[in-house]
Amino acid sequence: MEADVKAMKYSSRKEYFLLSFEYDEKDKVEPGQFFRLKTPTGPYIARPYSVYDFEDGVLTFLIKSGGEFEEHLKTSKKIIFDGPLGNAIPSLDNPLLIAGGVGYAPLHFYAKRNKSHLIVGSKDEELFNLVDIPPASVYTVEPTTALDVAKHSPTTNIIACGPIKMLSRAKEMFRDRNLFLILEEKMACGRGMCEGCAVMTSDGVKFVCKDGPTFSAKEVNLNWRN
Amino acid sequence: MEADVKAMKYSSRKEYFLLSFEYDEKDKVEPGQFFRLKTPTGPYIARPYSVYDFEDGVLTFLIKSGGEFEEHLKTSKKIIFDGPLGNAIPSLDNPLLIAGGVGYAPLHFYAKRNKSHLIVGSKDEELFNLVDIPPASVYTVEPTTALDVAKHSPTTNIIACGPIKMLSRAKEMFRDRNLFLILEEKMACGRGMCEGCAVMTSDGVKFVCKDGPTFSAKEVNLNWRN
Amino acid sequence: MEKLKIEVAGIEFKNPIVIASGPAGFGDEFFKYVSPSTIGGFTTKTVTPQPKDGNPPPRLVYTKGGLLNSIGLQNPGVDTFVREVAPNLPKETVRIISIGGESVQDFLEVGQKVEEFADMIEINLSCPNVREGGTISSNEKLSSEILFACSYSLSKPLIAKLSPDGDILKQAEVALKNGIKIVNVGNSLQGAKFNINDGKPFLKRVVGGLSGPALLPITLWKVYQVKAMFPQLEIIGLGGVNNPKDVLECAIAGASLVSMGTHAMIDPEGIDDFILKTEKLLEERKVSFKELVGCSHRGGYR
Amino acid sequence: MEKLKIEVAGIEFKNPIVIASGPAGFGDEFFKYVSPSTIGGFTTKTVTPQPKDGNPPPRLVYTKGGLLNSIGLQNPGVDTFVREVAPNLPKETVRIISIGGESVQDFLEVGQKVEEFADMIEINLSCPNVREGGTISSNEKLSSEILFACSYSLSKPLIAKLSPDGDILKQAEVALKNGIKIVNVGNSLQGAKFNINDGKPFLKRVVGGLSGPALLPITLWKVYQVKAMFPQLEIIGLGGVNNPKDVLECAIAGASLVSMGTHAMIDPEGIDDFILKTEKLLEERKVSFKELVGCSHRGGYR
Ligand SMILES: Cc1cc2nc3c(=O)[nH]c(=O)nc-3n(C[C@H](O)[C@H](O)[C@H](O)COP(=O)(O)OP(=O)(O)OC[C@H]3O[C@@H](n4cnc5c(N)ncnc54)[C@H](O)[C@@H]3O)c2cc1C
Ligand SMILES: Cc1cc2nc3c(=O)[nH]c(=O)nc-3n(C[C@H](O)[C@H](O)[C@H](O)COP(=O)(O)OP(=O)(O)OC[C@H]3O[C@@H](n4cnc5c(N)ncnc54)[C@H](O)[C@@H]3O)c2cc1C
Ligand SMILES: Cc1cc2nc3c(=O)[nH]c(=O)nc-3n(C[C@H](O)[C@H](O)[C@H](O)COP(=O)(O)O)c2cc1C
Ligand SMILES: Cc1cc2nc3c(=O)[nH]c(=O)nc-3n(C[C@H](O)[C@H](O)[C@H](O)COP(=O)(O)O)c2cc1C
Ligand code: FES
Ligand code: FES
């Protein structure tokens, strides 16, 4: 489907931006789901982005700058999109949300719709000037990471989204909690056809696009990747 | 160099369009010269277009729809350009200008700056609703071609621009007149480096971009192409 | 849709558009978006004797205007395939089952097990993402033996899927000599991409298969050469097709069928329209697909 | 510019960016836009014994994200070249003269005549646009003889320009066996495009050479393979380079020099900036170009 770019707002040093366009909600959009985005001129393969916000018929995405998609966005007025794809983050009782960098996107949307605690970490301070963070959340700039902070929380239910190294560490640290990880793999079809976004689980190879992106930490073997 | 698209105006059935952007005339722009145009997202190789008009710092081009350049223009707000390239049409005494289709572009510009007679032919009537044609010009829709009309003119100096078949016929018909042809060949560098836009002349292979695009009909061997 | 019909090896195709092996998987997801009655044929993901997990991630790398994949033939193995997948392949389209393996034995085993569910069988000799030491097609002896054994033992029409990386004429000759009448030209082209932040390849096996629009001119030249040298072969043109115009170009170069992988995967909802537009191009030119096939070798159609 | 310096075959390059043979012609126009002191090396258009008119038009076809060319080695012939062009090649950059022909004799004649004006000589074995029956590199015997004779008779460092269409390892082996220490991987890839309005090829010889960004992953994989098999060869990475990142990728794969044809042609004014950006990428990563060369074969640089 096609839409006009409604707004594209950069952070101060242009490391991140928020992209929004109107979406006539034919299918329900849930936190954790993603859309595949490209422009009419490229990139050739649409890139998947988690929904950062959906309000009053406007979808918003939080995107890290520097790639081919942004290159095309710089001149294009139109978006070609496809979604919502993937599954919703499970509804947990008052979970702790741990976000690293643009991993904040799905958790922002989740926090808006579900009671939860939030810790956001970023190497790059300017992220916090771009996004909105619910009151009573914690945000932290490296070297103190979101995980360092989270360690001190007693909450059982945890949902983490961020760089793979952070997720691996979270899996180590929170072995005995009810931890969910929102995973990322390069995608081509976004619908479980091409076998591109594989993740190894206790139940064999699964796909981030179709079976995820949220997985129970216990279920996934992140070492397969290394 | 980069410029914002100032206007893009289509003919009724979208077969043609006029594209304009601002140009700060560092180099003098003369009728017969061309610019290489693309957008930041493509096409990969910029396409050459003759200047249709240059007034008040605004360059205008007359372009036939349907190609890759238009594809990118549909969404792009920016033009990347390069020019003016090529040589000016020689200044002749009150010449007859014969245009076929978008071959009208350089002749429109020439007619604005030089006293001349003009005959424009087009398969497609809607061209005439898009472009402006000086008063006292003739325009004709196939099957009566611009050449059929031109036959009856006694003028010695003739400049023709249009499809290669029209130019070949003009060369046949006006053997004993002072005929100039504005030629077209696919171009890559636009500056006489790549040897892409070859034309055979009595003086060996020349290049449309560097030695043309206007050539004396006597000089060129159009049969080399067939 | 009269202008699109074509018969190949005695099999009627309502149109020449065949979905390529792999990008659309086994069809279960794909046919949620595409009605099997619109497409000429559907090729399954390649099936091997044993289940395969495929390669560890990353399996995909984005490149400018293309895609590099290293899936590694993940599939449930022929037994599960025959039990759970094959019987459900839609009969409204020509069912092409792609078979893979390492040895003659492998190909025969898979071929024989899937045969009853297939209208045609495609012998995948050219996967860039599994064997050490190159594709099977780069080994003339092994591919000869596989093709000969399959020709001898299988009764459904066979397609040999060749590699765009090797000598295409040599591969076509090997196919023809071993009883094959249809060749698929070809698979994805071998490519690599490196991470400038650590100096390592993005893909663990370094090499992946490049697909996408940029391949089209390469595909067209290979199709043209094979048709020029072996006019008796039927050719499937595959690699980079992404526009209805490309379908006509493939036919003109010599292809009797035109296959699409990546494009069908990234825009399944658009396939219906793609086929309608292909038909429209033919109608505007008052020519049928069949008349176009190989016409560049006869001086064009006009 | 310390981070960009590299020495190849005893010749100092201030940076590894070498303009490829052809798209920038003989330099007369090109050096109006580019200062020779900014680029590492400049390769002339290929020179043959006799003048060549080249192929009749069209010589270019636009493809999606690429360019198909069929120039046909138009050049003034070696005698005019040596009289009018060669003495004026700028000495502020490494002057590489590309030589072509049909026979051993041809290559020797051109090589000997141009040698005094060249810092290096590139032996073009891979032009897709002149010979009937394929490139010289597809003929092992002929290319062996040419390379052997040149190695024996010419004293400037020699580069063998290989074809991406043939078996790159075989070609590299042939080069090495015949005394060549530098290989250029590679030329444009063979491709074709057909006119759907008449069913004919756009190019009179049907085939042309495809260049452009999409080739990069293909080039990288070929560079990687050659470096893995023949670590003693110095490699020029060529085909699809269009971004400073690509220069680093080529080095990582194994290239000691990185060449650009089409990109240098379409954006000569941008080359200065391109080289500055390449240097900046290296500085940000605290690594020199030389350290990157082939580092993927050593587990990366970090
Ligand atoms: C389910 C899911 C959800 C996602 N949600 C988000 C989200 O909310 N926000 C978000 O920003 N991303 C998200 N992503 C990631 C996103 O899909 C893209 O992968 C990402 O934006 C990069 O794509 P691109 O087109 O911007 O960059 P690409 O062109 O793919 O490049 C990616 C990066 O690599 C760099 N690069 C290019 N070439 C090289 C090289 N040779 N060596 C080293 N580096 C190189 C580029 O400069 C760039 O920084 C999500 C992914 C998944 C799977
Ligand atoms: C000096 C000079 C001046 C010029 N001035 C003008 C001018 O003023 N106005 C103007 O309109 N043009 C002009 N041209 C031509 C222009 O440069 C382009 O060649 C032209 O616009 C087509 O480029 P494109 O990107 O639009 O289309 P392309 O993408 O190159 O396609 C060209 C046409 O071919 C069709 N096509 C694509 N593939 C196939 C196929 N397989 N078979 C058959 N057809 C196919 C497309 O649909 C399209 O109609 C000039 C050229 C020169 C050399
Ligand atoms: C994700 C992906 C998976 C593929 N899997 C297979 C496969 O299992 N068997 C096969 O023969 N080809 C496979 N291919 C190759 C395609 O069938 C096709 O030959 C190639 O992608 C070129 O065509 P395209 O440009 O239309 O995609 C795969 C390609 C992709 C992109
Ligand atoms: C217009 C044009 C002319 C070329 N002429 C030659 C030539 O004379 N000799 C040669 O060895 N290669 C020639 N080439 C090939 C280039 O040197 C280069 O190998 C190829 O274009 C791939 O690199 P690129 O993608 O950087 O352009 C030519 C390429 C183009 C596009
Ligand atoms: S992206 Fe294709 S299976 Fe997930
Ligand atoms: S376009 Fe390169 S010489 Fe004319």
Geometric angle at alpha carbon D99, from D95 and D105, rounded to 5°: 140
Q: Could you tell me the end-to-end alpha-carbon distance of chain D, in angstroms, rounded to an integer?
A: 22
Q: What CA–CA distance (Å, rounded) separates C130 from D136?
A: 32
Interface contact flag, B194 D53, Cβ < 8 Å? no
Place of tokens 């597809």: D138
Name the residue type at position C261: G
Burial status of residue C182 (CB atoms within 10 A of its CB: 0-12, 13-18, 19 or more): buried
Name the residue type at position C234: E
Q: What CA–CA distance (Å, rounded) separates B77 from B68?
A: 16
Q: Concatenated DSSP letters for B102-123?
A: GGHHHHHHHHHHS--EEEEEES
Q: How far is the CA of B82 from the centre of ligand 3 (A)?
A: 39
- Tell me how crowded residue D137 is: count the other CB atoms within 10 A of its CB: 29
Q: How far is the CA of A43 from the centre of ligand 1 (A)?
A: 12
Instruction: Spell out, as residue ranges, where chain D has pLDDT lower than 50.
Output: none
Q: How far is the CA of B32 from the centre of ligand 6 (A)?
A: 16
Interface contact flag, C45 A195, Cβ < 8 Å? yes
In this complex, the residue of B40, B75, B77 whose CB is nearest that of residue A40 is: B75
pLDDT band for position B75 (50/70/90)? confident
Query: What's the confidence (pLDDT) of residue D134?
Result: 80
Closest ligand (CA of A196): 5
Whether A27 and chain C come into contact, CB under 8 Å, resolves to no
Handedness of CA C49, C50, C56, C58 (dihedral sign): positive
Mean pLDDT of the B72-96 span: 94
Query: What's the confidence (pLDDT) of residue D186?
Result: 87
Contacts of B226 (CB under 8 A, 6+ apart): none
Q: What is the pLDDT along chain C (302 residues), one digit of tens a residue?
A: 789 999 999 999 999 999 999 999 999 999 999 999 999 999 999 999 999 999 999 999 999 989 999 999 999 999 999 999 999 999 999 999 999 999 999 999 999 999 999 999 999 999 888 877 789 999 999 999 999 999 999 999 999 999 999 999 999 999 999 999 999 998 999 999 999 999 999 999 999 999 999 999 999 999 999 999 999 999 999 999 999 999 999 999 999 999 999 999 999 999 999 999 999 999 999 999 999 999 999 999 98
Contacts of B108 (CB under 8 A, 6+ apart): B52, B53, B62, B99, B131, B132, B133
Q: What CA–CA distance (Å, rounded) separates C210 from C60?
A: 10
Q: Domain spans of chain C?
A: 2-298
Geometric angle at alpha carbon C103, from D169 and C230, rounded to 5°: 65
Handedness of CA A177, A183, A189, A190 (dihedral sign): positive
Q: What share of chain A is helix, strand, coil (3-state, %, to 5)?
A: 20, 40, 40
Q: Which residues of chain D are at the B interface, by a Cβ-Cβ cutoff of 8 Å?
A: 22-25, 29-30, 32-33, 45, 53-54, 56-62, 64-67, 69, 71, 74, 212-213, 262, 265-266
pLDDT, tens digit (0-9, with 9 covering 90-100), for A114-137 = 999 999 999 888 999 999 988 878
Q: Could you tell me the end-to-end alpha-carbon distance of chain A, in angstroms, rounded to an integer?
A: 36
Q: Could you tell me the end-to-end alpha-carbon distance of chain B, in angstroms, rounded to an integer?
A: 36
Give domain D2-298's CATH superfamily.
Answer: Aldolase class I (3.20.20.70)
Name the residue type at position B88: A
Closest ligand (CA of C262): 3
Tokens matching residue A34: 């993603």
Q: Are A223 and A211 in contact (CB under 8 A)?
A: no
**What stretch of H or E contains C120?**
strand C120-124
Q: Are B130 and B16 in contact (CB under 8 A)?
A: yes
pLDDT of B143 higher than 70: no
Per DSSP, helices labelled H in chain B are 68-73, 104-113, 126-130, 146-150, 164-173, 208-211
Tokens matching residue B5: 């698209």
Contacts of A223 (CB under 8 A, 6+ apart): none
Q: Concatenated DSSP letters for B20-55?
A: EEE---SS---TT-EEEEEETTEEEEEEEEE--EEE
Radius of gyration of chain B (CA): 17
| Ligand 3 contacts CB of residue C71 (under 6 A) | yes
Interface contact flag, A74 B40, Cβ < 8 Å? yes
Burial status of residue C72 (CB atoms within 10 A of its CB: 0-12, 13-18, 19 or more): buried
Q: What CA–CA distance (Å, rounded) separates B199 from C167?
A: 35
Q: How far is the CA of C278 from the centre of ligand 4 (A)?
A: 34
Interface contact flag, B189 D266, Cβ < 8 Å? yes
**Is-cis flag, bond preceding D157, omega within 30?**
no
Tokens matching residue D6: 């590299």
Handedness of CA B212, B218, B224, B225 (dihedral sign): positive
**What stretch of H or E contains A36?**
strand A34-39
Place of tokens 């595949």: A36
Name the residue type at position B151: K
Look at residues C113, C90, C98, C119 and name the one whose alpha carbon lies nearest to residue C45: C98
Q: How far is the CA of A206 from the centre of ligand 3 (A)?
A: 20
Per DSSP, helices labelled H in chain D are 78-80, 104-114, 140-153, 168-177, 216-229, 244-253, 262-266, 271-284, 289-292
Q: How many CB pairs under 8 A join A and B?
A: 31
Tokens matching residue C250: 């493939």
Contact partners for chain A, using 3 or more CB pairs closer than 8 A, are B, C
Per DSSP, helices labelled H in C61-167 are 78-80, 104-114, 140-153
Residue of B nearest to D62 (CA): B45
Kindly list the catalytic residues of C: 127
The domains of chain A, with CATH numbers, are 2-85 (2.40.30.10), 96-216 (3.40.50)
Q: Are B13 and B92 in contact (CB under 8 A)?
A: no
Interface contact flag, D201 C245, Cβ < 8 Å? no
Query: What's the confidence (pLDDT) of residue D65?
Result: 87
Query: What's the confidence (pLDDT) of residue C134?
Result: 80
pLDDT of B71 higher than 70: yes
D127 is catalytic: yes
**Is-cis flag, bond preceding C217, omega within 30?**
no
**What stretch of H or E contains B216?**
strand B214-216
Q: Are D126 and D161 in contact (CB under 8 A)?
A: yes
What is the SS3 assignment for C111?
helix
* CA distances (Å), origin B90, targets A192, B95, B107, B182: 64, 10, 12, 11
For A92-126, b/e burial (b = at least 16 CB within 10 A) is beebbbbbbbbbbbbbbbbbeebebbbbbbbeeee
Geometric angle at alpha carbon B103, from B102 and B107, rounded to 5°: 115
Q: Name every chain A residue with its beta carbon within 8 A of the beta carbon of C265.
A: 188-189, 193-194
Residues linked to residue C7 through DSSP beta bridges, in sequence order: C12
Q: Are D195 and D116 in contact (CB under 8 A)?
A: no
In this complex, the residue of C192, C224, C245 whose CB is nearest that of residue D253 is: C192
pLDDT band for position B163 (50/70/90)? very high
Give the mutation target among D44, D260, D262, D271 for probing the ligand 4 site: most ligand atoms within 8 A of CB: D262
Q: Are B166 and B148 in contact (CB under 8 A)?
A: no
For A14-30, b/e burial (b = at least 16 CB within 10 A) is ebbbbbbbebeeeeebb
Whether A40 and chain B come into contact, CB under 8 Å, resolves to yes
A195 φψ region: left (φ > 0), alpha (ψ -120 to 50), beta (else) = left
Q: Are B91 and B71 in contact (CB under 8 A)?
A: no
Look at residues C297, C207, C294 and name the one whose alpha carbon lies nearest to residue C6: C294
Ligand 3 atom with least separation from CA of C211: 25
pTM (global) more than 0.90: yes
Q: Are D134 and D156 in contact (CB under 8 A)?
A: no
Geometric angle at alpha carbon D265, from D259 and D270, rounded to 5°: 85
